[in-house]
Amino acid sequence: MDLNFTSDELNFREDVRSFLRANLPIDVSTKVLQGKRLGKDDFVLWQRILHAKGWGASSWPVAFGGTGWSAVKQHIFDEECADAGAPRQLAPSLKMVAPVIMAFGNPVQQRRFLPRIIDGSDWWCQGYSEPGSGSDLASLKTRAELVNGHDGDYYLVNGQKTWTTFAQHANWIFCLVRTSTEGRQQEGVSFLLIDMKTPGITVRPIIMMDSEHEINEVWFDDVRVPVDNLIGEENKGWTYAKFLLSHERTSIAGVGRSKRELKKLKEIAAAEAACGRRLIDDQRFRDRIALVELELMALEITSLRVLSSTGENNRAQGPEASILKIKGSEIQQMLTELQMQALGHYALPYLNEALEVGWKGDPMMPAYADHAAALASHYFNFRKTTIYGGSSEIQKNIISQVSLGL
């Protein structure tokens, strides 16, 4: 694998930088770079700006409205967006349900849903986990019963989903539901697309450790879902679910965002503290920064290899996606931990109001400690990265079984 960028790729990087300078709203990028709270409008606005440029879906093929970029160009785009402070694009919409609709949906579903994803009209959330069915996802109990109605056939859905990220903003949810209890658990699962405005759906907030409302419970009480919203075949949803999870785990790697946070860590460590010393001069701490940087470099190369292989062979990612998920989530946690340690006692207090734009901290704090106000929230939030999308333990089982045959 040639690790040097071509002249075309270097020119592309400059094009992306120029576009970001001209089009990324400064108030939005300031929120991202300062760790402030983002609202729904921030995400939607950025998606619409990208769509207007023709860059709304960097990983989609041209046939479905995507850019058709190579894996390297996708990587460059993600890296530059993260460095400039662009909001992350909505993974459940663009990188999870969309690939499933492209691969297993029928042409009518593709024409109906994909354009509204790419232009920001629809916001999707994921209905996978349930109370008691997280890591053991195949044990899910939300039922979908096929009903032959006089006005058309439909599924009647009853059950509960949990840990549903941004369900309070979403107008669609893709759900795994049980349509059969015969045979193995995996054989009775189907994949449904459900309009969140359908009567019988209730969204209840789950307030996290940092007092933020990011996740939810979603309840289904006799929710009618047209059979036209079934992806693929009934009882074959487990195949589609695994395909989706491989895309989710790859996107969790978050190389661009981690490179931005590594840069921030170095800036904090290089700043002169009140005692007149710099943390970067401490060899032990410098070694820890070097270690996480080496881990990140290895993750970046591995990610490029996986994405390139996927594109060349037109296949879903296998156990290599689990490798990216494990290392990506661990690196994200390491970076927040090191930032907390670098900021020392300034990082200890958690201030919910510090996530709002315009909040002013203690004027006596050193300049590099401005980041401290929001850091505790991010530290708490990143504790979950080794759990969602399949816990690290589950990923290690996948690697050992599929790759090593253990």
User: What domains can be seen in the chain, in order of their start residue?
Assistant: 7-89 (no CATH), 124-237 (2.40.110.10), 253-403 (1.20.140.10)
Which member of 79, 80, 248, 261 is catalytic? 248
> How far is Cα of residue 77 from the mean position of the Cα atoms in its chain?
16
- Under DSSP, the state recorded for 278 is B
Contacts 24+ apart (CB under 8 A), 366-374: 366/271, 366/273, 366/274, 367/271, 368/267, 368/268, 368/271, 368/343, 369/343, 370/34, 371/34, 371/35, 371/264, 371/268, 371/339, 371/343, 372/343, 372/346, 372/347, 373/35, 374/34, 374/35, 374/36
SS3 call for 156: strand
* Structure-block tokens of residue 115: 């354009």
For residue 20, the model assigns a pLDDT of 98
Instruction: Give the helix ranges, DSSP H, for 196-282.
Output: 237-252, 255-270
C-alpha distances out from residue 341 to 30, 63, 364, 390, Å:
24, 48, 20, 28
For residue 289, the model assigns a pLDDT of 96
DSSP string, 361-375: --TTS-GGGGGHHHH
DSSP string, 309-353: HHHHHT----HHHHHHHHHHHHHHHHHHHHHHHHHGGGGS---GG
CB distance 346 to 365 below 8 Å: yes
Tens-level pLDDT at each residue, the chain (406 residues):
556 789 999 999 999 999 999 999 999 999 999 888 899 999 999 999 999 999 999 999 999 999 999 988 999 999 999 999 999 999 999 999 999 999 999 999 999 999 999 999 999 999 999 998 877 888 999 999 999 977 889 999 999 999 999 999 999 999 999 999 998 888 999 999 999 999 999 999 999 877 789 999 999 999 999 999 999 999 999 999 988 887 777 777 889 999 999 999 998 888 876 566 888 899 999 999 999 999 999 999 888 887 776 554 445 556 778 888 899 999 999 999 999 888 887 776 667 777 788 776 665 555 555 667 778 888 888 888 888 877 888 888 878 877 666 5
For residue 342, the model assigns a pLDDT of 87
Q: What angle do CA 340, 345, 348 make, to 5 degrees?
A: 65
Q: Is 293 a catalytic residue?
A: no
